[in-house]
Structure 1
Amino acid sequence: MTDNSSIGLYTDGDVATNDTTQPSLEALAEKRFSRRQTLFGGARATSLALMGTAMLAACDDDADGTTALVVSAGATAATSAGRMVTLTGSVTAGSSKGSAISWAQTSGPEVELIGTGNPVSFIAPAVESTQDLTFTFTAAPTNGDTAASATTTVRVSPAVLGFTAVAHSLEDLVVVPDGYSVTVMTRLGDPLTAATAAYANDGTDTDFANRIGDHGDALHFFGLSSGGDPDSSALTRGLMVQNHENITQAYLHVDGPTTVGGARPLAEVVKEIECHGVSVSEYVDGGERSWSYVQDSRFNRRITPNTEMALSGPAAGSDWMVTAYSAEGTAGRGTINNCANGITGWNSYLTCEENWAGYFRRDTSDAALRSAAQLTSLLRYGVRTGASGNYNWTTASSTDTTITRWNATISGTEAREDFRNEPFQFGWVVEIDPYDPASTPRKRTALGRCGHEGAFIRVVEGQPVAAYMGDDSRSEYLYKFVSNQTWDADDASASDRLAMGDKYLDAGTLYVARFDEDGSGTWLPLVYGQVPSRPASGSYVEYTFADQADILINARLAADAVGATPMDRPEWTAGNPATGEIYLTLTNSNNSYRPVDGTNAANPRSYWNAGNPNGHIIRLREEGDTTAASSFAWDIYLFGADTIDCDTTFEETNINISDLDLRNDFSSPDGAYFSRATAISGQVNPVFWIETDDGAMTDVTNCMLLAAMPGTVGDGGAFTVTNTDGTSTYTQDTYVGTPATAANLRRFLVGPLECEITGIDMTPDGRTLFVGIQHPGEGGDASAITSHWPTSQSDTGSSARPRSAVVAITKDDGGVIAL
């Protein structure tokens, strides 16, 4: 935004443990093994990685080679899920010369041993309760003497956050915890073909249809097999698909944007248009999570506002969709202002069109030529008369339709002669097949038209597919689409991925959420015949829907009509892979949209005469835990707060409701993501990641990424918020989650100056985390650069222009990120 695993219990008797209330491994080593060499795999003084390495005895270098072998497998040890553990055995008598030594697991949840011989390592598995893992170390002499073996036990506890919280930062760097490393990956302008020149980053670059775009937003890593086929378990090769939401215009040109005789130069406008959209680039791991991108990969692709699109679903072919480009109303060009995303169960990518309305020009003459229905629609979506359109693109040409299409003013006698309907071709969820660069993306109109932030897809065998979608504008709504078809897991490996989209995303029911005061909620169907007319209000006349296409094209008006709950800027949606609960970030709202006497249970705060400037995160659990449920329970998981400003009892009680402190305070939650279900961090109690797009705390810290281990809906209780405007006091009852602590919420990353942290995914094992850094230095220009990132990540004296980029974050000991 710019403005679903149980593990059986096993015990091996009375073995030593190392819970936090017992002596440390260091103390045990000093007491029991002071004369023996020990090895702590992955140990770091600044983390909890010391827990989890077996205590190991050393070899007896004085053995004469004639006595029987005596071996040691080391002491028992304790760790927690996701930590790296190293096992080292030793021969303490006899001779090990010419012997074969090996490790094998003999009990407990199965793990993969990394390495051969001695030592070996493994990553502690996900467990619901404490589990014992037993390992046997064997030395088998090649001269035929009797082999010797010994065992050791590692006790594994459920996962916990295992890093030290990152402090507030105003540095021009991506700051991560000690024990982690940052690699800059694809950046604005990086070439995607062998023939495309390296990026000069001085404003002279062109051909952005073959370069990484600007303002990278949501992203996803799609695995590739060694043969180039889709592989959801691939760890070392994949396709990074990323949205490009907007541009920092000042840095794209030599001296910033220019205007000549009232017109923008065509070359500048072409560059700016092509910088939007989506990119696909191949990423490879050169070994030990050493990542780079492949410039000449056959999979690399740019999808821009000029790329051919197919319209699909109930609104395709509607009179509202007819343009000079598509007289049938079934095709269009491009996608723009792509914010958050969605990943389908059949390996396709959903990109979502958010703040698209501002790109359109409408001259004042247009109003008199429109029907009342279209005037109401355009007003409700913010395509206003007198607007020149973002960046004045239409001034660059009067004949090139890639330019003139952004002028929605009626100029012909019928719709097929101009682009009056072009705004209705935007605001959709667009499906892309990342594995097929020749495929035509499809706009899925059954999911409704709005300022789509994202579209989290939940698939459960035998249930319909559900898509949860926020409309990112103040006082807008949360939507859910439920497919007519139930999910068939065999479709996950379908080769025709867009055909699967036809099956699951073109026919179904769109709903909008009503959050009730008692902590319950209802999904209200947006179905023709069930949606009444929208009453007249303010500048709006009464609106009566003509058919289902009309409802989908004008989903905001339909949601108004059925009485949905206006929310504080609905942002990303994310689903907990263990519980199925859905999380929705609500980034903020100003006082005009959330006055002190205008709160509701789901949006309960209004303070400092500023509305809800720090935002909150709401979560819901579907009735019966089914995707097609018509009702749900909800509470507010977290409230954002600037704890430095919350310095009175009133503010601590009514603003800092989640009891944040300097280790975890945040403002304006935006991106939301749960660790993958295939990763240890995505099992049992999955790690929840929160990204911010903040303007309220930027005097004390840049935007950030936090890691959390949330509970479940209902783990808190009822709460009454007191709101005041300084003169009058109002109370609002709501439902809140359990308060935050440093154990369940910590700041993991802080970004560079003036950036937004947005876009996040990981490899299937959770050992590499990919994060998007958007618009660093956005407040500057070519003559006064305010950030030099990402060059500043390695060169603090850099004078380079800033670039949006993706970073790969790895744990130095090879463990699972955050644990």
Structure 2
Amino acid sequence: MRLLPLAVRRPHGRPAISCRYRCADACSREAPNPTDHTPFREVAAAALSRRRVLQAGLVAGLSGTLAAACGTSGSAGAAAPPTAPMPSPFGFTAVAPNTEDAVRVPEGFDQQVVIRWGDPVLPGAPAFDPNAQTAAAQAQQFGFNNDFLALLDVPGSPGRALLVANHEYTTEPFMIPGYNPDAPTPEQVAIGMAAHGMSVVMVQRDPASGRLTPVMDGVNRRITASTPMTLTGPVAGDALVRTSADPEGRTVLGTLNNCAGGVTPWRTVLTGEENIDQYFANGETVADLALARYGMDGGATERRWEGVDPRFDLIREPNEANRFGWVVEVDPFDPSSTPRKHTALGRFKHEGANVRVGPTGTVAAYMGDDERFEYLYKFVSSRTHRAGDTPADRESNARLLDEGTLFVARFSPDAPGGGPDGSGEWLPLVESLADGTGRSFVPGMSAAQVLVHTRIAADTVAPTPMDRPEDVQPHPTTGRVYAALTNNDERGTPGKPGPDGVNPRGENTNGQVLELVEGGNDPGARTFAWSLLLVCGDPAAADTYFGGFPKDQVSPISCPDNVAFDAVGNLWIATDGNALGSNDGLFAVPLEGPQRGRVQQFLTVPRGAETCGPVVEERLALVAVQHPGESDDASLANPISHWPDGGTSVARPAVVSVWRADGGWLTPRA
């Protein structure tokens, strides 16, 4: 594994220690996508001047590129004149950027830590002791580095809900006293494995506020890196996923690097396995092209799990890595159920998966492959959703994500018939069939090969390489699809694809938010129109855009990561790796009316932390505070954060609930 010194900071603002343990320092290495889709780039370059994304002279060009792309009027670099302030549609004053060691919320709001790393989840779990951790205890406690959150009301139990949380990764030097990264003990490795995965926790709602109280209940569950899971779809049983421990190729132990996710209409949770490359050692020795395309071309891993468990050594178990990188479906209401890895949805660095059901019952799942120059995907089920709750309905819905077609997106700069900013098409890769087999649309690759090596299969049809596509979510009422493109500091550098219509900036450190409208507003459509809702960064900079809203009235925002929608349809954005020098946060953005694009910062998280989740309900917002206190200048012995407990306590990732102190609606009604 190639590592940089801890003193190096990444262009997007995240410290090197977080990069090492979260994604194997991916941004310090060359992106593993070697393709240069020249035909698209030539078409894009020829049509850049016809784009209409950033209008009325709000944005000037970055080295001339963005100005040409936007068709701006007025002089390059000219600032828009000040405008009369408009009242906030959210009824709060935006939180100012800061670097405090606290969660900051607007005046008139209260907050609460719901649950923290190490808090009991299962009956009999011991109290958390940071100086005397064991794997057995961690397997019963809330895991580390919480990311995606879901909050599902329990039918027939007023006030009760299930809180579901991903635990994306572990940063052992900030977790375990005496940890030696060069030679971790078997027990320390086991602690790390137990701190991965997911937690399901019953919570009691306070009817007068947004306060949530964890409850010990039989439905509570910990899922770890050792929990048995079932492979479904055409890859199940294939030779590509058979190992010495599982010669049938159908049962996988554990889930890893669970980032974002989604809640299905049939009330299950989807979780995406993202940076799985960092867990598998000795790819450089195996020297396989497919491994390299997924970033598995190093030696020893950061955590050294391969020294304790042979399945993480690619020399000894070359197929084990093929059993990770999937979308996993979990039924949080049944603690005895076996999670399922849906191979029909393809294998890549899944940020998450979010489902939309169209008016006729057509089901689509939208996904981003979170790496520089990777792609947007959509899976369209060949079955239709059944809204009932009979055994037959549940059985049918359980197969929705196993039968259908996987597509990858190609963008073009101009929309036929005067669309907003451009058009695009979904290119089919493989169809998964009802009998468990599949039909490949990629010459020379079987269905199983397309699904295991989805990146390679997608490369052959020349989709659009994107600026780190992360969370991709359909709007619950309009059906429009929103994608957070976090950043891409390699865009336009020598030998790499340059700016294009949908990725308009070179060396992009601040990211953008994309809006798609599918043909006929049908989730099964093969075509779409697209717009850039936001081009993020400092509002005073020439290369930013906020949906056409005056830039002197918005909050600065950098590195959009996760998105959510509130009860009245506004977009909420969580950020990761603020490149503007302040803490990450949660931001609210109207999507309709005269204040469309007005970004307002709702909260900030403590220093060193990332904002994850989020959940936004009528009366509460819920966020996961990930890796508080992680800094290249800090350690367990020399911390920069004591959040959330204060004093001399260890910094602990945690879930935070926020609500209006008067108990009113989070977002005022019109």
TM over 0.5: yes
Cα deviation code 1:59-96 (max 9, x no counterpart)? xxxxxxxxxxxxxxxxxxxxxxxxxxxxxxxxxxxxxx
Matches of 2:211 and 2:346, distance apart in 1:
38
Residue identity in the other structure for 2:161: G
Q: Is the 8 A contact 2:121 2:199 kept in 1?
A: no
Q: Residues 23-77 of structure 1, C-alpha deviation per residue, up to 9 Å, x if partnerless? A: xxxxxxxxxxxxxxxxxxxxxxxxxxxxxxxxxxxxxxxxxxxxxxxxxxxxxxx
* Structure 1 position 325, deviation (Å): 2.2
The answer to whether the aligner puts 1:785 opposite 2:666 as a matched pair is no
2:585 and 2:601 in contact (8 A); partners too? yes
Q: In the alignment, residue 567 of structure 1 is paired with which amino acid?
A: M
Q: Distance in 2 between matches of 1:195 and 1:456?
A: 35
2:305 aligns to what? 393
- For residues 284 and 787 of structure 1, the distance between their equivalents in structure 2, rounded to whole angstroms, comes to 29
Distance across 1 between alignment mates of 2:206 and 2:664: 18
> What are the Cα deviations for residues 627-663 of structure 1, in whole angstroms up to 9, with x where unaligned?
110000001000111246x3xxxx3579998754474
1:813 aligns with 2:667: no
| 1:312 match | 232
- In 2, the alpha carbon distance for the partners of 1:485 and 1:657 equals 40
How far 1:383 sits from its partner (Å)? 1.2
How far apart in 1 are the matches of 2:392 and 2:660?
Answer: 37
Change (3 A) 1:248 1:495: farther
Q: Where does residue 579 of structure 1 map in the other structure?
A: 478
Query: In 2 relative to 1, CA 594–363 (structure 1 residues): closer, same or farther, beyond 3 Å?
Result: closer
Q: Which amino acid aligns with 2:406?
A: L
Task: Give the one of 255, 259, 262 matched to 1:342.
Answer: 262
8 Å Cα contact 1:460-1:487 kept in structure 2? no
Amino acid at match of 2:466: M
Query: How far off is 1:669 after superposition?
Result: 0.3
Q: What letter corresponds to residue 669 of structure 1 in structure 2?
A: P
Deviation (angstroms), 1:761: 1.3
Cα distance, 1:162 vs structure 2: 1.2
Q: 1-side partners of 2:604 and 2:427: how far apart?
A: 39
Aligned-pair distance for 1:286?
Answer: 4.0
Alpha-carbon distance, 1:275 to partner: 0.6
Asked if 1:693 corresponds to 2:576, the answer is yes
Tell me the distance in 1 between the aligned counterparts of 2:553 and 2:170: 33
How far does the alpha carbon of each residue in 1:689-743 deviate from its partner, in whole angstroms, 9 at most, with x for none? Answer: 0010024122xx200110011139xx9xxxxxxxxxxxxxxxxxxxxxx974xxx
Task: Tell me the equivalent position of 2:344.
Answer: 446
2:651 pairs with 1:802: yes
Instruction: Say if 1:643 and 1:656, in contact at 8 Å, map to a contact too.
Output: no
- CA spacing shift, 1:616–1:363, aligned 2, 3 Å: closer
| Aligned counterparts of 1:761 and 1:500: Cα–Cα separation in 2 | 28
Aligned amino acid, residue 197 of structure 1: P
1:505-516 → structure 2 map (5 Å cutoff): 505-516=401-412
The one-letter amino acid paired with 2:500 is N
1:338-358: CA deviations, max 9, x gaps? Answer: 000021111000010000111
Classify 1:626/1:196 alpha carbon distance in 2 versus 1 (closer, same or farther; 3 Å).
same
Shift of 1:487: 2.0
Q: Which residue of 2 aligns with 1:332?
A: 252
Closer, same or farther: CA 757–495 of 1 in aligned 2, 3 Å: farther
2:499 maps to 1:599: yes
Query: Which amino acid in structure 2 is aligned with residue 355 of structure 1?
Result: N
2:180 is matched with 258
Are the equivalent residues in 1 in contact too, given 2:203–2:215 (CA < 8 A)?
Answer: no
Name the SS of the counterpart of 2:164 in structure 1. Answer: strand
Residues 577 and 382 (structure 1), Cα distance of their counterparts in 2 relative to 1, 3 Å cut: same
With structure 1 as the length reference, what TM-score do the two structures score?
0.66
Match of 1:748 in 2: 602
CA–CA distance in 1 between the matches of 2:442 and 2:482?
Answer: 29
Aligned to 1:274: 194
Q: Does the CA-based 8 Å contact 2:470-2:562 persist in structure 1? A: yes
- Give the equivalent residue in structure 2 for 1:301: 221
The match for 1:168 among 82, 88, 97 is: 97
Gap change, CA 1:762 and 1:282, over 3 Å in 2: farther
2:448 corresponds to 1:549: yes
Residue 202 in structure 1 maps to residue 124 in structure 2? no
Aligned residue identity for 1:603: N
Whole-Å separation in 2 of the counterparts to 1:626 and 1:576 = 13
* TM-score of the two chains, using structure 2 as the length reference: 0.80
Shift in CA distance, 292/577, structure 1 to aligned 2, threshold 3 Å: closer
Q: Secondary structure at the match of 1:791?
A: coil
State the shift of 1:200 in Å.
2.1
Offset at 1:203?
5.4
How far residue 366 of structure 1 moved from its aligned partner, in angstroms, is 2.9
1:621 paired with 2:543, answer: no
Give the superposition deviation at 1:775. 0.6
Contact 1:348 1:497 in 2 (8 A): no
* Corresponding residue for residue 27 of structure 1: none
2-side partners of 1:305 and 1:757: how far apart?
24
Q: Which moved more, 1:767-776 or 1:496-505?
A: 496-505
Q: Kindly report which structure 2 residues correspond to 1:217-616, keeping only aligned pairs within 5 A, or say none.
A: 217-227=147-157, 236-255=159-178, 257-258=179-180, 263-289=183-209, 291-362=211-282, 364-367=284-287, 375-384=288-297, 386-395=298-307, 397=308, 403-410=309-316, 419-490=317-388, 493-494=389-390, 499-518=395-414, 519-527=422-430, 531-533=441-443, 544-545=444-445, 547-591=446-490, 598-606=498-506, 611-616=507-512
Largest Rg, 1 or 2: 1
Q: 1:652 to 1:466 in 2, by over 3 A?
A: closer
Judge conservation of contact 1:431–1:498 (CA < 8 Å) in 2.
Answer: no
Distance 1:496 1:784 in 2: 58
Q: Which runs of 5+ in 2 are unaligned?
A: 1-18, 24-86, 415-421, 432-438
Judged with a 3 Å threshold, the aligned counterparts in structure 2 of structure 1 residues 587 and 217 are, in CA distance, closer, same or farther, namely: same
Q: In structure 2, give the amino acid aligned to 1:548.
A: A
Count of residue correspondences: 567
The 3 A distance-change label for structure 1 pair 358 and 258 is same
The answer as to whether partners of 1:531 and 1:558 remain within 8 angstroms in 2 is: no
Equivalent residue number for residue 586 of structure 2: 705
Is 1:665 aligned to 2:556, yes or no? yes
- Cα distance in structure 2, aligned partners of 1:241 and 1:817: 22
Cα RMSD of the aligned pairs, angstroms, is 2.5
Match of 1:775 in 2: 627
Distance 2:203 2:175 in 1: 25
* Highest RCO, 1 vs 2 (Cα 8 Å, sep ≥ 6): 2
* Matches of 1:616 and 1:433, distance apart in 2: 33
Structure 2: distance between partners of 1:497 and 1:569: 37
Quote how far apart the aligned CAs of 1:759 are: 0.5
How far did residue 176 of structure 1 move? 0.7
The 1:512/1:703 distance shift into structure 2, 3 A limit, reads same
Q: Give a deviation string over 1:573-600, Cα, whole Å, max 9, x none.
A: 1222221100000000013666697111
CA distance change for structure 1 residues 656 and 467 in 2, over 3 Å: closer, same or farther?
closer
Compute the displacement of 1:297 (Å): 1.2
| Shift in CA distance, 532/280, structure 1 to aligned 2, threshold 3 Å | closer
CA distance in 2, matches of 1:224, 1:658: 40
